[in-house]
Amino acid sequence: MKFPVANPFYLFFLHFFLIILICCECYTPPDNIALNCGTSGLSSSPDGRIWTGDIPYIASSSGKPNFRSSKPSPLSTLPYDTASVSQSEFTYAFRLRSSGPIFIRLHFFPSSYQDFASSKAFFSVKANQFTLTNFSAYAVTAEEHMVKEYCIYVGEDKSVKITFTPSHIQPGAYAFINGIEIVSMPPDLYYVSHRERDNVGNKNGRYNLPNDTALEMVLRLNVGGGFIYPMKDTGMYRSWQTDDEYVNDGGAVPVGNTTELRFIKIANYCAPNELYSTARTMGPNRTKNQSYNLTWSLPLDPQSQEVPYLVRLHFCEFQPEINSVGDRIFIIYMANLTAEEHADVISWTGNNGRDIPIYKDYFVYINPGEEKKHNFLLALQTGPVSETGRSDVILNGLEVFKLSDSYYNLAGPNLDLLPLFPIAPPNPTSRPGVSKMLIAVILGVPCWV
């Protein structure tokens, strides 16, 4: 067979596969299950991921859900075009290859599934002992697909059971699910910490994350950069949103010119290289730099007093003018409390120069207030002129997790869901060949390896 290497289409595809190989090299999850609910057999989503039908995973003792398709919609690409739907409780049972922490991702596309009206979709989801969510399609105004991501710790029995229970309160309520992912993660990604974690302004002192705590990912932002699709994560299929809608004053958005990041402080699977090659800093004016805070406002559910949020800040100094300790010192405030008085990324990375990614974890308490959503403020302020070479701040990435409470509960009293995921749907008007090409282009951005 002839292989026209000069053809740009083939080059694109070579490039595309190389990138996937490179980006996924960081970590290979021992368990990697993607269920396309409401189907049987294998299917592949537009990004090339392989999904399996959900029948083999439905526990035999449980009620059998019906398979349904939603009405055609440009948004309903796999796994969102089919669902498993039931008015009685049903359970998926998984026997994994390894114990330890896993991601559970639940994919929902609230829609009318044939004779099931979307207004009657009202149910709760449990995974092992944890209540993950109370889902109500009412809370979702537009037809939008969404992903809810959780982390739980799987014990030595390596078993995971996920149960969907329609509400007993609403007559005719039903549960549905479009897609389920189970993906392993390295034990030290979120649960085990090799470094100190700071409690911001707290008296109760909770410095570690016990393995009987479940996490719900609330926000995962590529600060100053673009959306990072699951296939461009480090092998765990996380997606990273842009921070545009959360940052109050955009500041400056420098882009790194790094050929090689040096992972000497954290493992290379913690976040994609792309995340560390963009950042936000302040504007070009010294007077202005010193007179404002670079601030993100993040809408969070208030939690009970004892349960903090885990906030992870990602940093990487890549600007040529920042080289040594003291070049850039800044202050980090969370919820108006001081989280860092002398943030100095070069110092944190051991005064070894630029291009060394690092993250810092903080536990923050968002106390119940009157409002449904609390505006959590993350504010960065320049350090005192006497201490810092430049009056500037930097942030490359941000992750926020809600922690389960002592009743193993993560579901909030309000049933709101955050829409996520501007998945790249194939252009419905274009020919199939063209849409494949489009995906290659979207994923084909260099990943700074």
Ligand X SMILES: *[C@@H]1O[C@H](CO)[C@@H](O)[C@H](O)[C@H]1NC(C)=O
Residues that bind ligand X (CB under 6 A): 99, 124, 134, 153, 155-156, 167, 169, 211, 252, 257, 281-289, 291-293, 333, 335-336, 377, 379, 381, 390-392, 409, 411, 413
- Closest by CA to 121, choosing from 166, 91, 84, is 166
CB of 358 to ligand X, least distance (A): 19
Query: Of 154 and 358, which CB lies nearer to ligand X in the complex structure?
Result: 154
Query: Of 7 and 193, which CB lies nearer to ligand X in the complex structure?
Result: 193
Cα dihedral: 74, 80, 85, 89 (round 10): -150
| DSSP string over 266-281 | S-TTSS-HHHHTB-BB
Cα dihedral: 184, 150, 89, 143 (round 10): -120
Query: Of 12 and 408, which CB lies nearer to ligand X in the complex structure?
Result: 408
CB of 8 to ligand X, least distance (A): 25
CB of 408 to ligand X, least distance (A): 11
Report DSSP state, residue 87. Answer: S
The answer to whether 308 and 365 have CB atoms below 8 angstroms apart is yes
Q: Phi/psi zone of residue 189: left (φ > 0), alpha (ψ -120 to 50 degrees), beta?
A: alpha
CB of 165 to ligand X, least distance (A): 8
CB of 338 to ligand X, least distance (A): 8
Query: Of 69 and 293, which CB lies nearer to ligand X in the complex structure?
Result: 293
Residue 89, token pair as written in the block: 């409780």
- Closest by CA to 172, choosing from 126, 137, 141, is 137
End-to-end CA distance of the chain: 32
Query: Of 216 and 233, which CB lies nearer to ligand X in the complex structure?
Result: 216
* 171 prior amide bond cis, ω within 30: no
Query: Of 356 and 410, which CB lies nearer to ligand X in the complex structure?
Result: 410
The answer to whether 355 and 258 have CB atoms below 8 angstroms apart is yes
Query: Of 11 and 117, which CB lies nearer to ligand X in the complex structure?
Result: 117
> Rounded to whole angstroms, how far apart are CA atoms 405 and 346?
36
Tell how far CA 350 is from the center of its chain: 28
CB of 333 to ligand X, least distance (A): 4
CB of 167 to ligand X, least distance (A): 4
Query: Of 63 and 283, which CB lies nearer to ligand X in the complex structure?
Result: 283
Number of helices (H) and strands (E) in the chain: give both, helices first: 5, 23
Query: Of 220 and 280, which CB lies nearer to ligand X in the complex structure?
Result: 280
CB of 326 to ligand X, least distance (A): 13
- AA identity, residue 229: Y
On the 0-12 / 13-18 / 19+ scale of CB atoms within 10 A, 94 is buried
- AA identity, residue 298: L
CB of 258 to ligand X, least distance (A): 9
CB of 377 to ligand X, least distance (A): 5
> Rounded to whole angstroms, how far apart are CA atoms 431 and 433?
6
On the 0-12 / 13-18 / 19+ scale of CB atoms within 10 A, 279 is buried
> Rounded to whole angstroms, how far apart are CA atoms 332 and 424?
35
CA angle at residue 259 from 254 to 263, to 5 degrees? 95
Strand, helix or coil at 158?
coil
Query: Of 80 and 362, which CB lies nearer to ligand X in the complex structure?
Result: 362
Query: Of 51 and 122, which CB lies nearer to ligand X in the complex structure?
Result: 122
CB of 75 to ligand X, least distance (A): 27
> Rounded to whole angstroms, how far apart are CA atoms 358 and 276?
9
Strand, helix or coil at 348?
helix
CB of 259 to ligand X, least distance (A): 7
Q: What's phi and psi for 149, nearest 5 deg? A: -115, 135
Query: Of 17 and 207, which CB lies nearer to ligand X in the complex structure?
Result: 207
